[in-house]
Chain A
């Protein structure tokens, strides 16, 4: 369990743990500044090209995106899920309309309103046709702050006796829509693959300028380099521990 602090040391520890859980062989510094440098430089797969998911974005709909990511990640065959996990849930985001691509691409999941679609983890050459047809998604506007929104996860039959209730915090200040999807994708997909999120769970999405003020500890944090301060780490999204007491979280 992670204390609800977002200090640099804590962020560095969280980021290290995430990477080492998948690749214990990686040589990662403890120091936050040094780790920020490593993250900024990107990570290379020694075994060649990573297995990447291709996500096609027609419209930015945060609740729909979370629901879709949960269904997609939950539905992956174990070997594909493992391969994707090994490549740190690497995902390519392309601008496109899934409804126009239906006859050419067999997506693994399409959002109910066709606002997005997901194509299974594969080597880049397997999605070359799709990449040639579409363009990189580039929504540069900040995500607007909105009232909290509840998302009920519908990924298969409920696997727990009592569905969990969690808050999902999203940082908005200085974060583009495109980067928000990147952060959210890692956080939610990995939480599903790790069993933190399951069918029936209720996630309350809270858009806040910065991830400060949560009184519930985080079960998972998405940490990356702060583009405004390249020598610093920042938490961009966080999934809290289960909320058992309704008074224990921010309104």
Chain B
């Protein structure tokens, strides 16, 4: 593994000279609630994207919970827990129990004051994580192992390379910042020159939103890469268009990979109102994993959440189709593995198109194409298991 100058990102082997440096930066899931099928879909897409791309290019996977703890939704939740719950032992709690507290926080409908959040924001800068979120991160790490997901450092302190002041400076010299703090107003990201609407990134009382956090985290990394792939929910499309513009302005080619959520019974659910009840990843693992071999479980999940559901969000989650994918995975793995018809990097290169990263949808649906050969053992081991 080659470590570049970026601390705490997951780095892979350096390919032949002249290879392009690729950074994968998925939207993170705030560790305040249980993981759901929608989250799992994004994580599986990113995992295949990462593990396939690292074979063909020097690839970084940036997933910093630290960078996004400073958002109001996380800090406000922590402040609420300490204010309402006092001295609580979170170390033995389940995701669902902490998720129920998150539902109570949102039911309060009272925006926390900037003054109340300030000590929490300061503490995050020094590596502190509230024990409730630390517990969630710990539980997710266990899920990651079970699901065969590369852990990009869920529980690691991965501070963003820039502070807010450096973000403002970077944007200001490029005419991309509208700063009304002196008049008691907010700070905006200004891409109106490109026809994109003004977007507030810091409130008048100094609270950054997740877009400001993303800029703190990704702007310093942008200059060190040739290509950045942003994986995000479709609901965040406009914000990620803005982010892509700003990052591309710093040099690299930026691709966006918008991924639809997974509706449950035709409805996209909200974690804030507790709609995850009965539909968590923990429940899915409990319900399904035991019936299959670990490698079948891993491949079957990827076939379902990537190839069957696709990038959109028209299909609701269906347990019967998940089982179908798991059976398909079983057949693929039970068949005699195909001999490798050449180096894996060359074969994966066919799924790159004009860019440096490997398209996870094309690659995964390719496993199911009837006219294709069975997948080779090296491809399965390197990318899907």
Contacts and interface: CB of A to CB of B under 8 A. Distances in A.
A60 B178 contact: no
Contacts of A22: none
B178 A96 contact: yes
B312 interface: no
- A interface residue count range (under 10 / 10 to 19 / 20 to 34 / 35 or more): 20 to 34
Given A95-B198, A100-B190, A139 B175 contact: no
A139 B197 contact: no
A95 B188 CA distance: 9
Interface stretch (B12-20, B118-126, B179-187, B359-367): B179-187
Interface string B342-369: 0000000000000000000000000000
A138 B197 contact: no
A96 B185 CA distance: 12
A139 B185 contact: yes
Given A100-B190, A133-B195, A177 B175 contact: no
**Most A CB within 10 A of own CB, among B180, B184, B197:** B180
B200 A103 contact: no
A60 B198 contact: no
Given A96-B198, A134-B192, A141 B175 contact: no
A137 interface: yes
**Most B CB within 10 A of own CB, among A58, A133, A178:** A133
B193 interface: yes
B257 interface: no
B204 A140 contact: yes
Nearest to A101: B192
Contact of A133 (B180, B182, B186, B192): B192
B296 to A, nearest CB: 51
B180 A95 contact: yes
Contacts of A132: 197
Nearest to B181: A141
Contact of A138 (B175, B182, B185): B185
Interface string A93-109: 00111011101100000
Interface residues of B, number: 17
A134 B185 contact: no
Given A97-B175, A97-B190, A141 B184 contact: yes
B184 A140 contact: yes
Q: Is the interface of A mostly helix, strand, loop or mixed?
A: loop
A58 B192 CA distance: 13
Given A135-B200, A176-B184, A58 B195 contact: no
Interface string A57-101: 011100000000000000000000000000000000001110111
B195 A138 contact: no
Interface string A120-161: 000000000000111101111110000000000000000000
B183 A100 contact: no
Given A60-B182, A140-B204, A141-B182, A135 B188 contact: yes
A99 B183 CA distance: 20
A142 B185 CA distance: 11
Nearest to A141: B184
Given A138-B185, A139-B183, A140-B184, A133 B197 contact: yes
A100 B186 contact: no
Nearest to B186: A138
A65 to B, nearest CB: 12
Given A96-B192, A96-B198, A100-B192, A58 B178 contact: yes
A108 B190 CA distance: 22
A132 to B, nearest CB: 6
A80 B22 CA distance: 56
Contact of B183 (A97, A104, A134, A177): A177
Contacts of B183: 59-60, 139-141, 177-178
A134 B197 contact: yes
Nearest to A58: B178
B180 to A, nearest CB: 6
Contacts of B178: 58, 95-97
A97 B192 contact: yes
Contacts of B198: 95-96, 133-135
B209 to A, nearest CB: 14
A87 to B, nearest CB: 26
Contacts of A135: 188, 197-198, 200
25 contacts: A59-B182, A60-B182, A95-B185, A95-B198, A96-B192, A97-B175, A97-B178, A97-B192, A99-B175, A100-B190, A100-B192, A103-B193, A133-B192, A133-B197, A137-B180, A139-B183, A139-B185, A140-B184, A140-B185, A140-B204, A141-B182, A141-B184, A141-B185, A177-B185, A178-B183
The list of the 10 closest CB pairs from A to B, nearest first, reads A141-B184, A139-B183, A177-B183, A140-B184, A100-B193, A139-B185, A60-B183, A100-B192, A139-B184, A138-B185
Given A100-B193, A141-B185, 13 more contacts: A60-B182, A60-B183, A95-B178, A95-B185, A99-B175, A100-B192, A104-B192, A133-B197, A135-B188, A135-B200, A137-B185, A139-B183, A140-B183
